[in-house]
Structure 1
Amino acid sequence: MTDCLAPPAAEVVAANVAAALAEDLGTGDVTASLLPDSPDIAYLLCKEDAVICGRPWFDACHRALDPEVRIDWRIEEGERVAKGTVIATLAGRSRALVSAERASLNFLQTLSGTATVTAQYVDAVRGTDARILDTRKTIPGLRIAQKYAVRAGGGMNHRIALYDTVMLKENHIRAYGSLTGAVNASRAQHPSLPLIVEVETLEQLREALDAGCTRILIDDFDAETRRQAVRIAKSAPYDGRIPLEVSGGVDMTTLRAIAEDGVDCISIGALTKHVRAIDLSLKLGPPPG
């Protein structure tokens, strides 16, 4: 489990789960009503190598339908597990186990998918100083959950939303006539918020370094220009005080080279946008073996 993996707020999980169960159950699970409502057991099987994430949502789904359900996890949140691992066992009412199955697995599979791919990107830059960041390209309604999953995979969060960080781009700079003008306006109106500035040229990079900000985003620089940007930002008089972030054109084929150029952060929309759910299965009965 990563050191920065703080648990999500209970109200966030509760709201996500309430929406998911309302969507799935509607007026009631007509198929589960065919089952005898008797005590039963189940096990949760991971069918591929993965980083598991989403236990709070999984638990909340089942406890919403059966407050007395017992869930015994065999792994920690954020733990890497191998294909074929039984990661939890459950004991509760048979109808509730079946009715909560899909919603609970949807959360666990989706968030484990984000955590797993994040871990792959983190592994790919290991040994460099680059940190892997997410973006706001998230599934609507699941942003906090997906950003939590990024942390579970060893990544770090970019801004959560539009309210917690000022991020100046081309349109903002144009509106104020210069990058420095936009930075000054931002500092005047939002002095306590982090400030990220996106630059398109080395000239703008120098202007952003002189103006001062929390981080500079060099978006879609070619490799040579990116290396020049790193040299400028890390040499006197700037001495690496303002981190450089790369975004755009990042995938597994380009990631390592970008990290080795010396940038501080690499933000990747694919962590939360291109989600492939991890293959998990909840089966009634005792676990095998």
Structure 2
Amino acid sequence: MIDNMIFTHEIESFLEEDLGYNDISCKLVGEKPVKGIIFTKEDCTLAGLEVAQSFFDYFNIHYSTEHSDGDRLSKGDVIYSLSGSSLSILRTERLVLNFLGHLCGVATNTRNCVDIARRYSDVRIACTRKTTPGLRKYEKMAVIAGGGDPHRFNLSDTIMIKDNHVKLMGVEGALLSAKAKAGFTQKIEVEVESAADALTAATSGADIIMLDNMGPGEVINTVQMLKRSSIPGHIIIEVSGGINMDNLEDYAKTGVDIISMGSLIHQSRWIDVSLEIIV
């Protein structure tokens, strides 16, 4: 293991995919000491430093940076100064730039959404499990760098009763079964599509109520109804489904505690990051 973010076997798996079996291009220049910089070609929020540094450590590339994940960078800012073997730097170049470009994109998208929401409330912006297979932990850490909440990392973190559970068992039945099986540290979340089911979940022991695929007006009405009904104060109200930067403002005004958005990750745009060798 290199650090808490990435394991050696993961690095080697990524390298196996990228290098192949006969890497001629990186060998063309021969083995020589070189210096280089990695810089951003556009404004962004920085994420992915631990991943990049894991590759540098693996190849014994010396690096320095003045930045931390979550920093706001301007076009032209240098992220890393590098020195080491020309072969090593060329071999790690594309992998490092791919991770930085993707993760900075997620962090930047998240930061933009957090900034929009903060104009209207202190609602927390969270991502979902709609992540790229194999890259979830990196993408969720990028959401954190952008000021967002990672939500569940996997199915074991929180018991979530979704629409198909409700169809098969009903809200009360599903909650009863979940509470019987839950460990004492686990919260139970219920996904509902109506105000009536939200109230049932609140009075049946849910810790989190997710209002799924409701329009902003329906969300406001449901939140107000729940508050009039004097639901337990510990209950968290979340809204999710079809929320993006275009309609986020309306949802930020609804009074919910959490807005979860798959679009933080799957609608993020890569940031243009480049490596330049300094001769």
Equivalent runs, 1:233-244 vs 2, <5 Å: 233-238=226-231, 240-244=233-237
Segments of 4+ in structure 1 off by > 3 A?
11-16
Three-state SS of the structure 1 residue aligned to 2:274 is strand
Three-state SS of the structure 1 residue aligned to 2:97 is helix
Partner of 1:174: 167
Partner of 1:3: none
Q: How far did 1:233 drift?
A: 2.5
Give distance in 1, aligned partners of 2:55 and 2:183: 41
Three-state SS of the structure 2 residue aligned to 1:77 is coil
Asked if residue 119 in structure 1 is aligned to residue 111 in structure 2, the reply is: yes
Code of the residue aligned with 2:35 in structure 1: it is: I
Deviations 1:90-131 (Å, cap 9, x if unpaired)? Answer: 010111111110011111111111111000000000140211
Number of residue pairs aligned between Structure 1 and Structure 2: 276
Contact 1:208 1:216 in 2 (8 A): yes
Partner of 2:210: 217
Contact 1:13 1:56 in 2 (8 A): no
Asked if residue 58 in structure 1 is aligned to residue 55 in structure 2, the reply is: no
Q: How far did 1:249 drift?
A: 2.4
Q: What percent identity do the matched residue pairs reach? A: 35
Asked if residue 12 in structure 1 is aligned to residue 17 in structure 2, the reply is: no
The partner residue of 2:89 within 97, 120, 132 is 97
Asked if residue 228 in structure 1 is aligned to residue 226 in structure 2, the reply is: no
Three-state SS of the structure 2 residue aligned to 1:125 is helix
Give distance in 2, aligned partners of 1:153 and 1:11: 17
Give distance in 1, aligned partners of 2:118 and 2:233: 20
Equivalent runs, 1:1-289 vs 2, <5 Å: 10=4, 12-65=6-59, 67=60, 69-127=61-119, 128-176=121-169, 178-192=170-184, 193-238=186-231, 240-285=233-278
Code of the residue aligned with 2:4 in structure 1: it is: A
Give distance in 1, aligned partners of 2:22 and 2:88: 11
Give distance in 1, aligned partners of 2:242 and 2:27: 51
Contact 1:21 1:61 in 2 (8 A): no
Code of the residue aligned with 1:100 in structure 2: it is: T
Contact 2:5 2:51 in 1 (8 A): no
Deviations 1:122-152 (Å, cap 9, x if unpaired)? Answer: 0000140211000011111000111011000
Q: How far did 1:59 drift?
A: 1.5
Give distance in 2, aligned partners of 1:234 and 1:260: 16
Q: How far did 1:13 drift?
A: 4.5
Code of the residue aligned with 2:213 in structure 1: it is: D
Deviations 1:252-277 (Å, cap 9, x if unpaired)? Answer: 22111111111111111111122321
CA change 1:118–1:26 in 2 (3 A) is same
Contact 1:245 1:265 in 2 (8 A): yes
Q: How far did 1:9 drift?
A: 5.5
Give distance in 2, aligned partners of 1:243 and 1:10: 30
Deviations 1:74-100 (Å, cap 9, x if unpaired)? Answer: 212221100111121001011111111
Three-state SS of the structure 2 residue aligned to 1:10 is coil
Q: How far did 1:162 drift?
A: 1.6
Give distance in 1, aligned partners of 2:243 and 2:70: 24
Contact 1:51 1:79 in 2 (8 A): yes
Deviations 1:156-191 (Å, cap 9, x if unpaired)? Answer: 011111222111122212322x21111010010123
Contact 1:129 1:263 in 2 (8 A): no
| TM-score for the superposition, normalised by structure 2 | 0.93
| TM-score for the superposition, normalised by structure 1 | 0.90
Contact 2:243 2:263 in 1 (8 A): no
Q: How far did 1:241 drift?
A: 3.0
Three-state SS of the structure 1 residue aligned to 2:221 is helix
Contact 1:215 1:244 in 2 (8 A): yes
Code of the residue aligned with 1:147 in structure 2: it is: K
